[in-house]
Amino acid sequence: QQTLRDGRLNPSVTDKLRLFGVGIDSVEKERIAARRDFLAAADAVEADVVIVARPNRPLIERLLSSHPPYALIEAPTPAKQFGKRLSQAIERKGLFLSITTRAAFNMELAGIVCSSLCRCVPLSREKCFDVETALGEALSNAMIHGNLDVTSVLRNDPADFGQYCDLINQRLTAPHYSDRRIELLATWTAVKGLQIEVYDEGRGYDKSSINERPPLEAKCGRGFSLLRQMTDELALADNGRGLKMS
């Protein structure tokens, strides 16, 4: 059965994971390792989990380009346990990301992740384009409408578009909103194919909204319609704060 990590020696979910820190001092790295019961890795290539302070696009691209870890997590690591999704990434030899909205917003994260996935998964160029488009829409929804809590209704009227952009920029500078995390889990099997899950920390969508079709004249609200066209399966999770695509 093919996975995202074929050809690499990987621990089972019961083995201790290997941790590497980028931009964090040794004391902080030891504290995280002790709290999570991780072992220290000599470099990012050997690591199963990489903790990154102040992530930026070139750094994330480099870490995901050649031998990506199971998990890439922005420091400081959240107090809450994300063990379930991390365990799923290890168990299925996939990829888990946990990053703040502030860091992810201008990073074009969909393109970075998709490039990494398409190097590991046998997908056609056309399918890779579909994956990047669907992932981009899911991440945009999670960041703007989920974590930043900015409604798309403001995009319906061109007169309100400036207010829409201003509100996004304001909330990107407000820690209450911008520190909320985006979590992404990607796994692949020969049977189920590529599966991607995106989670935010917002209010959550109403489950009925995933099947709603916006009026033809609507200038917004077409995200789920687009996602339904580009995926085989689409479902909400975690009280509307998560989206599962395959």
pLDDT digits (tens, 9 = 90+) for 202-212: 998 876 666 66
Q: What band does 214 get if pLDDT is binned at 50, 70 and 90?
A: low
Mean pLDDT (whole number) for 83-112: 89
Its pTM stands at 0.85
Q: Single out the residue of 136, 19, 1 nearest to residue 71, CA to CA.
A: 19
Comparing 140-144, 156-160, 231-235, which segment has the lowest mean pLDDT? 156-160
Q: Is the pLDDT of residue 213 over 70?
A: no
Give the residue, 209 or 146, on which the prediction is more confident.
Answer: 146
* Dihedral sign computed on CA atoms, order 19, 101, 203, 218: negative
- Residue 26 CA: distances (Å) to CA of 43, 45, 69, 96, 125: 13, 18, 20, 23, 42
Q: What band does 196 get if pLDDT is binned at 50, 70 and 90?
A: very high
Lateral strand order in the sheet of 39-40: 39-40, 18-22, 49-52, 71-74, 95-100, 181-189, 193-199, 242-245, 234-237
Residue 60 has a pLDDT of 94
Residue 81 has a pLDDT of 55
